Every structure is written in structure tokens, then in C-alpha cells.
Structure 1
Amino acid sequence: MPRCEPTDGSDPGAEAARATPQPSPTRAPPGPGTMRAATTHALLALLTSLVALSPPAQAEGDASSSQEASSGGVLADEVNLDDLDDLVPLSEATGLTVQDIRILGLGRTSPGVVERELYIARGQLLREEDLTESIQRLWNTALFRDVRYQLTRAPEGGVVVWLAVGERWTTIPIVKFGGGGGSTYFIVGVYDPNAFGEYIELGGQYQNTNLNTHSGVVWFREPRFLGLRLRWSAELWYTNIVRPLYRDGTNVLEGGYNQERLQVFNAFDYEVVRYVQVGVGFEFDNDRFNTRNLTEDQQAANDAFGLDLPSGGRTSFAEARLILGRLDRDEFLFQGVQMTNRFKRASKLIGSELNLNFIHSETLAFLRLPWRSNLATRVTVGHNNTDADQHLFFIGGLDYMRGYFDGQLRGHNFWQANVEYRIPSVDTSWVVLQHVGFADVGDVSDSFADLATFERAPRTSLGLGVRLMSPRIYRLTVRFDYAVTLENDTPQAISFSAAQFF
């Protein structure tokens, strides 16, 4: 999903390249009235999510395939592949010619989407590693809640590969909410990662932050542009956020401002080999600043400390990316390591009013453990060389450090790490209830040497949380976390959203 939502762990590979601590969508600490309204939005979103657990019958009822070999009208759930005639064990089928590939269970999704992900092909010799990789790639699209295979002897010799998939409901109304670090938001919109049944993502949404600012975005993503393993992403944003400023990383308010930004983003990522992607992108930002929508406390702090508003204007970035590794999924579980490295350069040569360098690296690592549990980790580091306040790193409770005010920590350099242990108590084909213990740690500084030598103890928080998910509905997750910092006080203990924290 786009950046105005917390990163959803159900699709970490799709978000890693954009999960950067840029101005987040929710900023000002709300008063009691705002928190009551946020609670109402949270309950409404939770009710909507539960109702959505019964998707329209079209999601699976119209399961005929345009492919002749798909046993039209037969759902994957209704097929027992073990009942097929002339079954061949994989050990015996390895090295035989693939005479045919037959796909069961497709309704909305084009057979070409499935075939495009396969490492096996008609007329080629079957290799175990290619078949295993094909099955995993189908899981990784997140379009299917079930992927199975079976092998049978072909009448003319060789082998027939049977694939049975169970489609997820992917046309998703967006009714989401979130809070943390003293900020709350709600989002409405709609998106579909399988538009027209072609594995193309289209979406749009409106976001309201703290009931007083309005933002929106429309986006397009094509993971297999031109039929290649080339991902094309395009986004158009208008964001309007209040940015509170805190003194030296404490929870002492020293002012704030309102930032309006028009942003255009376009990028391409190409899979060179199985675990290596390279990418290029272009981003254009046009910023304006004012004091509208500030709270009385923020305005009073501005007056007391004599805060000057940042200079607005245009910033144009050229970006290069290197993505190493991969995250593999199996329903709501993940396995693997993926590192996303980004270098952005803003220059007057490409129309920018600022010159700056931006370096950012994020590593996600997931380990499957017994009892259908997951150990999830995220480590992020960043550096930039600008004095423009809007391009500094802002770290806080909404997206990186639970238990702190959103944007409480800011500077030119940062590092942070999150660790979560996720284990389910309820695990059915419709509903999963996951329990989470977590730790967040990190720091921000204008001096890289201070971070590298740990001149001060890093900020740390610990906590517990729950997740409510549905394997049958694309990325449906409701999250509630409670965090306590290891310092004298905890500015903002509760964090919640309709997504995994990462």
C-alpha cells in the first residue's frame, strides 16, 4: 500500500522500497475529544473488518477458467488432487518432459497471471527446484489463499503438472484507522491488487488526520510490466499534515507547523536474478508551510521559542535502488531476508531548488517457528545532508518507535530496530487471532559519530499486542499494541491500525 498507511507485514516486499521516515500523515497530539473520536473510528473500522469476513460469492463462485485445461467451473476447494489417475511422485517425475500444465480454481484471475510466475514450461524437463520456486512465487503474489500441485503421467509420455489455487477476494474497500505517538487518522478508499484479473494494482484513498487535515493519493502498480519481471509504480499525492516539533528528542513541545505537499513518484524495479533487484525512480515534491490547524499549545510554543517556518519550494529527486534477498509467504507467515538500499539525489540540474543526498537502508527478516509462529525483525539506518526541516528524518510512535510521540525524534542520521514474536491462538481458514510481544529501539542525531559510538543510550520500548486477520481477504489485519518506554515516562502507550506494524 501507499505510504500514508503503516507498512503491512502481509506484503513486506511490496513496501520495503517506500517505507522511509519521511513526513508521516499524522502529527499533532490530540486532545480528549480527538481521542474519543478516534476510538469511535476504531470501533467502526473493526466492525467493518468483521463484516468483510464474508466476501461476495463472486470471489469464488464464478470459478470457470478461460483455459481449456482448467476443468472449468471446478473450485480448487472442491478438488482432491490425490484422486487424479496415474499419479507420479516428484522423485520419479524429475527429469521427465512437461507435456501440459493444468490450472484449477481460477475465477477472476487470468491463467496468464499464473503461468507468468512459473519457472516450469510445456516441453521442458521438470526440475524439482523449478517446481518449488513456481509454487512459492504464486504464494508471493498474495492473490491466493491456497496453492497446491500434483503430477500425473501424460498419455504420450512425460508428465502433466496440475495446479490448484484458491483465490482471495481482492477488491477491497478501505476503511482504516490508526494511532500512535499522540496522533490518529482514518482512511477511506478502495483498491484492487488484481484489477481486471491481470495482477495490476489500482487504488485511491482519502485520509483525515486528527480530524483537521485532509490528504489523498491515487496509485498504479504493475509487477510484471511488459510481461517481464519488471515492477512499475506510479503515485500522485496531496498531503496536508501538522508537524509538532520536540526539543532534543524529549517530549517537551517547542512548536510546530502545517505542511502541504504535492508529490509525484514514478519508479521501475527489475529482477536481475532470483534474489537481486535493481531500480530507478524519480520523485517531485512541492512544499508549502503555514500555521493553520495548529493546536493552541503548538501555537503558543511557536510564539515562545520564535520558530521560523521552513522555506517551501520544489525538490526533485533521482533515485537508485538495490534490493537483495526475498521474503516468502505462506498464508500469514513469512520466511526470509530482504534488504532494500536507496540512494536519492536532489539537484538543481533536474529542476530542484535544493541540493541534497539521501541514503536509506532497511532490512526485513522473518523466521518461521513452531506452532505457526513468526519471529519478525526490521533494522533501518539513514543519512541525509540537508538543513531543510521537511527532509530530515522524523521517528516516532506511529511507524517506527511505539510508545513515543509521532516525530518526537528528528535529525540527519538515524538507526532503529523492531523485533516481534507473533503466535496465533486461533488459526482457521477464515479468522486468525495473533498475539505479539515486541521491542523497539533506536536513536536519531545530527552527528553520525554519536550514533556509531552510542554516546547516549538508545531509546527503547517494550510491549504486547494482538492482530485479527482473515486469510481469505487480501491484507485484512486489525492491530492493537500497548508499549512502555524504558525512560521516565511513556508519552503515548497505545498504537493501533488496520495493518501490521511492519
Structure 2
Amino acid sequence: MKHLSVLLFLLVSFANAQEYKVADLKIQGNKKLKTSFVKKIAFIKSGVVLDSSLIEEDIRLLKRLPSIAHASYQVFPAIEPNEFNVFYNIEENFTIIPSANVYTTNDDEFAYRLGLYEFNLFGQNITFGGFYQKDIYDSYAINFRAPFLFSRKLGLAVNFQNLTTQEPVFFDNTTADYRYNNESFEVLGLYQFNFTNRLEFGVNFFTEDYEYKSGATNPNVPQALVVDKMLYKLIYEYNNLNYDYQYVEGFRSIFNFQYVHSTDDDMLPDFLIGWNDFQYFKRFGKRGNWANRLRLGLATNDETPFAPFAVDNNLNIRGVGNLIDRGTAAIVLNTEYRYTLYEKGWFSLQGNAFVDAGSWRNPGGDLGDFADSQNLRVYPGLGLRFIHKKIFNAIFRIDYGVGVTPDSTQGLVFGIGQYF
């Protein structure tokens, strides 16, 4: 039966497409995911011209959804002449997923983030959940994201966050530790132009609260500061990745631009910030996967101790420590080779060897700061991935990074999901 389906579909594809129509789109294998949702976002519908390229695009989109582990299709002749039924076969993911990130260094720093998310709320591929973080202080967040809330193209995201951390503030070649709190509320519109291009745009209202704890002081650097801000955000993504369970191939680019308006122009003036993440993935044989991420970031170059780009274990350099430096521009490269060591049924064990490297521009400095050895960090390392292939993002990650540049640290980074 499967061979007959393929043969018929090949005949249809090479024939005059105007003569062949879709009688019906049928969804199989889905349990929690609503059939009506799949039909809402699919190009293939009853009455349209049978087009193999549209079917392939639907399947690639379905395989990207958190609620779907794998998708395939079949085509069979219908009762009426020149009409065909198209079947989309769905393998669902389990989508109520805990999240966890734990990171340490040889300086005995220890921090963690625990969360719980539903990625297929109401069977509509809506993400809802939140996290609790302990990084000296307590933090939490609640997130709602519905990319197909209104149509295949238009959705909505709403986020609330109350984040408190100990932040190093750098000035006069010295360091002070501050208790930093950021309480924010964000609303974003989500728009998908086509399969590969999408846009997010919206506004974030937040309050930053800095409270001096220890370290150096300076009359020009306040020991307490509370500032209300408004952030306008624009994100543009080009995504041409193709997924096959834990394997990824293709290219992706994410551009993030923000304008931040402050009520205190003296200490925290208005500024612009933008960065682009370039990601490239390549399959090697049946088990190998090369993964790369390059981040280029640039912000208004104010000489401020509160610069926006951070150097951090859980963001960009594995093993470097918890927020050890800041800058007004950044270049970061993460490259790793992932290899499947063992695979059977739903389980896969993946090993990886990586190199994380980055450099930053000092606040008020120039682009020559990127070549300064004090700003350069290079951390090679090894890691393991324990993967459940039928649960969305069920990848338990453990990496150990060792610095090879001057005054480096080393440390473990645990987490859920691939590092990038």
C-alpha cells in the first residue's frame, strides 16, 4: 500500500497539476494535538491543487512544532476522478516538560533554574509555563506564547519576569557587587511571512533596581539606583533548519534589535542594542552533527558600569562562571561536534566536543578591545546528551569547559535542551 501511494504521488507530481485536486486532508496519529489546528496551519486543504512542494512544506513545519516528534505523509486516490486524499501521519511528543539548568565553576559558584512548561496547551501548540531561579537570590517568570493564535501567520506572546541576581559592576579597574532586580512585563505580536521568515515586535515595561552589596565604591557610581524603563523590541528570523529527531541540518539567522528608553538619563541613558545569531548545522553520516553559532552584538558605547552584554556560563561560554564581565559589543563563537554514541527505540546517547570563544568591547572603549587578551575567553570542553526522542526538548545536557586563556576558570554546566 505504501509503494502504491508513492507511485501515485510521483505520477501526480509529473502530470499537469491543474488536473488533480485534493479531495480531503486527513490527520492520523494525533491524540492531544487537535486535528482542526493541523488543518488551520496546513497549506494543503480540500479543493486545492495537489502540489508536492506544498505538502513537503507542511511536513517541515509540522516537524518543527514542539508537539510533534516526527511527521510523514501519504497520498491515495479518492472516489472522484482526478482527486486524491492526502494523509498526514503524526508522531506526537509528550509536551508537559520540566526544565532545569545548573551551573558551577571551580570558585564554588552554584546557581540553578527549575521550570515547568506545557508546549501544547489545549492541543493548539500554545506554550505556557514558568521558572524559578536561585542564583544567590530568588527569581521567577511566567511565559505565554501562541504563534498561531489568530491564524497560520499571526500570534501573540506575553511574558512576566521578576529576576534578581548578584551583578558585578566594573569601573576604574575595580569591581563592586550589586543586588540587581529586573521586574518586567512584555507583549509581543508574532507574524510569520512564510515558512522561512518570521517577525516579532512589541514593547517591554520594566524597572531596574541596583543595590550596592560589597566591593569598590566611587562617588560617581551610586550605591542605590531604581529606574523605570521602556523597551521597544524587534526580532527577525530566517529559519531554514530541517529536523530529524535529534539531528539538525541547515541555516538559521536571528536578528534582535532593541531601543531602551530610561527615566534616568544621567546614570542609565537611552541606548540602542542589536545582535545577530547565525547558526549553521551539518550532518555527517548517520550519527554525526556539526553545530555552530556565531553572535555579533553592538550597543550604544556609553562609558557605564551597567553595560548590556554579559559574559556568562549559561549564555555563551561554558565554564567561564556566572556573569563575570560586561561590554558594549560582543563577538562569540560556539562550535561543537555531536556524535550519537548509542541509540535504541526512544533513547539516544550523544557525545560532543566543543569550543566556546568570545571577546567584548569595554564600555566607552573601541573595537581594538576585541584583541585585548584580558577580554578574550576560549573554553574547549566535552559533554554528554541523554535524549528522549518522543518528549519535546527532553535532552539532559552536561558540559565541562576548561579555559585556556589567562586567568581562566573551569566548570560544569547542566541543562535541559541543547546549548544552542
Give the structure-1-normalised TM-score. Answer: 0.74
Map of 1:444 onto structure 2? 360
Q: How much has 1:325 moved relative to structure 2?
A: 3.4
Q: What is the rounded CA distance, in whole Å, between the counterparts of 1:342 and 1:482 in structure 2? A: 29
Q: Does 2:257 correspond to 1:343?
A: yes
Moved more, 174-183 or 402-411: 174-183
Please give the residue correspondences for 1:154-233 in structure 2 after superposition, counting only pairs within 5 Å: 154-157=78-81, 158-172=83-97, 174=98, 176-181=100-105, 183-209=109-135, 212-233=136-157
Query: How far does the alpha carbon of each residue in 1:426-469 deviate from its partner, in whole angstroms, 9 at most, with x for none?
Result: 123321111001111110113342157x3558421111110111
Structure 1: runs of 5+ lacking an equivalent: 1-80, 293-298
Q: Which structure has more RCO (C-alpha within 8 Å, separation ≥ 6)?
A: 1
Q: Verify the 8 A CA contact 1:413 1:448 in the aligned structure 2.
A: no
Q: What is the rounded CA distance, in whole Å, between the counterparts of 1:345 and 1:319 in structure 2? A: 7
Structure 2: runs of 5+ lacking an equivalent: none
Map of 2:10 onto structure 1? 91
Q: How much has 1:283 moved relative to structure 2?
A: 1.3
Q: Verify the 8 A CA contact 1:171 1:190 in the aligned structure 2.
A: yes
Letter in 2 for 1:204: G
Q: Verify the 8 A CA contact 2:176 2:212 in the aligned structure 1.
A: no
Q: Verify the 8 A CA contact 2:350 2:384 in the aligned structure 1.
A: yes
Map of 1:333 onto structure 2? 247
Letter in 2 for 1:168: N
Q: Verify the 8 A CA contact 1:255 1:307 in the aligned structure 2.
A: no
Q: What is the rounded CA distance, in whole Å, between the counterparts of 1:283 and 1:121 in structure 2? A: 38
Q: How much has 1:488 moved relative to structure 2?
A: 3.9
Query: How far does the alpha carbon of each residue in 1:318-348 deviate from its partner, in whole angstroms, 9 at most, with x for none?
Result: 1223222332322111122121112211236
Structure showing the higher helix proportion among its residues: 1
Q: Verify the 8 A CA contact 1:88 1:153 in the aligned structure 2.
A: no
Aligned in 2, Cα 1:278/1:189: closer, same or farther, shift over 3 Å? closer
Question: How large is the RMSD of aligned CA atoms in angstroms?
Answer: 2.9
Letter in 2 for 1:82: K
Q: Does 2:319 correspond to 1:403?
A: yes
Aligned in 2, Cα 1:143/1:431: closer, same or farther, shift over 3 Å? same
Q: How much has 1:490 moved relative to structure 2?
A: 3.4
Q: Does 2:329 correspond to 1:413?
A: yes
Aligned in 2, Cα 1:150/1:370: closer, same or farther, shift over 3 Å? same
Q: How much has 1:180 moved relative to structure 2?
A: 4.1
Letter in 1 for 2:245: E
175, 178, 182: which one pairs with 1:257?
A: 178
Q: What is the rounded CA distance, in whole Å, between the counterparts of 2:224 and 2:238 in structure 1? A: 36
Aligned in 2, Cα 1:86/1:229: closer, same or farther, shift over 3 Å? closer
Identity %: 20
Please give the residue correspondences for 1:40-55 in structure 2 after superposition, counting only pairs within 5 Å: none
Q: What is the rounded CA distance, in whole Å, between the counterparts of 1:438 and 1:305 in structure 2? A: 43
Structure showing the higher strand proportion among its residues: 2
Map of 2:32 onto structure 1? 108
Q: How much has 1:190 moved relative to structure 2?
A: 2.3
Please give the residue correspondences for 1:319-468 in structure 2 after superposition, counting only pairs within 5 Å: 319-347=233-261, 354-385=269-300, 386-446=302-362, 447-451=365-369, 454=371, 456=373, 458-468=376-386
Moved more, 481-490 or 358-367: 481-490
Map of 2:226 onto structure 1? 312
Q: Verify the 8 A CA contact 1:170 1:193 in the aligned structure 2.
A: yes
Aligned in 2, Cα 1:432/1:86: closer, same or farther, shift over 3 Å? closer
- Secondary structure of 1:318's partner? strand
- Secondary structure of 1:403's partner? coil
Aligned in 2, Cα 1:232/1:90: closer, same or farther, shift over 3 Å? same
Q: How much has 1:247 moved relative to structure 2?
A: 8.1
Q: What is the number of residues matched between the two proteins?
A: 407
Q: What is the rounded CA distance, in whole Å, between the counterparts of 1:161 and 1:381 in structure 2? A: 44
Map of 1:16 onto structure 2? none
Query: How far does the alpha carbon of each residue in 1:73-108 deviate from its partner, in whole angstroms, 9 at most, with x for none?
Result: xxxxxxxx739x776432112222111111111111
Map of 2:414 onto structure 1? 496
Map of 1:55 onto structure 2? none
Moved more, 480-489 or 334-343: 480-489
Letter in 2 for 1:259: Y
Please give the residue correspondences for 1:2-21 in structure 2 after superposition, counting only pairs within 5 Å: none
Q: How much has 1:245 moved relative to structure 2?
A: 4.8
Q: What is the rounded CA distance, in whole Å, between the counterparts of 1:219 and 1:389 in structure 2? A: 30
Query: How far does the alpha carbon of each residue in 1:361-406 deviate from its partner, in whole angstroms, 9 at most, with x for none?
Result: 1112212221232111111111222445445211132220123122
Aligned in 2, Cα 1:286/1:279: closer, same or farther, shift over 3 Å? same
Q: Does 2:395 correspond to 1:480?
A: no
Q: What is the rounded CA distance, in whole Å, between the counterparts of 1:412 and 1:169 in structure 2? A: 41
Q: What is the rounded CA distance, in whole Å, between the counterparts of 1:307 and 1:346 in structure 2? A: 21
Aligned in 2, Cα 1:306/1:184: closer, same or farther, shift over 3 Å? farther
Q: What is the rounded CA distance, in whole Å, between the counterparts of 2:201 and 2:400 in structure 1? A: 38
Q: What is the rounded CA distance, in whole Å, between the counterparts of 2:117 and 2:100 in structure 1? A: 13
Q: How much has 1:269 moved relative to structure 2?
A: 2.8
